[in-house]
Chains A and B, each alone.
Chain A
């Protein structure tokens, strides 16, 4: 890491697990605004760039498309002046996330219950039985 200013492309790759090619691509298609350069022309990522990249990563985990992510980034950049379509998209993605959270919570509790059942049992783990039954 450049201790004086920001982060070199290699630092960002290590920190976020995003390849250098992907970082350049994000910049090329505008997901990331033009990254600062040092006097010698080396990309110099700032903390706000990293924050934006983490947002992109999270949105990708939610299977949002790059086009949708670009729209959401506009909202992130300037929520008060975002267009109505961007606001609508943001609301719909929020609903999607909340539905996913409900499903995840249910799944988490189900797995927790099965694991606890496992520890209460002397003759094996019912998770296996449950999975076997589901396959039938």
Chain B
């Protein structure tokens, strides 16, 4: 049916870094571009300063930076390539879509 928007829950992406982490800046810019390409509706983006949220970072298992959690689960303990990141997001989006369909 036209005019009805299908709502898929966005994939929650959390990037753990710190303002003083030099190598994080470039990586962050690349990953942000990938997320933007997939569409802001589909990706909920959050940058986490580990020094502000140390307990949370440690609980997820973050040991180095930048690290990436998807939907509250540490997926990349160290930074992935743009391709790996895109693949992980796309597979998660598919899973979200599958979950939505099974609830229909």
Contacts and interface: CB of A to CB of B under 8 A. Distances in A.
Interface of A: 106, 109-110, 112-113, 116-117, 120-124, 126, 129-130, 133
B63 A120 contact: no
A121 B59 CA distance: 23
Interface in B56-77: 57-59, 61-65
Q: Is the interface of A mostly helix, strand, loop or mixed?
A: helix
Contacts of A126: 18, 20, 51
Interface residues of B, number: 17
A106 B61 CA distance: 9
Indicate the member of A109, A123, A124, A133 with the most B CB atoms within 10 Å.
A109
A112 B22 contact: no
Contact of B65 (A116, A122, A124, A133): A116
Of B20, B54, B57, most buried by chain A (CB within 10 Å of CB) is B20
Given A120-B23, A130-B51, A130-B54, A109 B63 contact: yes
The 5 closest A-B pairs by CB, nearest first: A121-B20, A116-B64, A120-B21, A109-B58, A122-B22
B57 to A, nearest CB: 6
Contacts of B11: none
A55 to B, nearest CB: 31
A116 B63 contact: yes
Given A116-B63, A117-B65, A110 B54 contact: yes
21 contacts: A109-B58, A109-B63, A113-B57, A113-B58, A113-B63, A113-B64, A113-B65, A116-B63, A117-B50, A117-B64, A117-B65, A120-B18, A120-B20, A120-B21, A120-B22, A120-B65, A121-B20, A122-B22, A124-B20, A126-B20, A130-B51
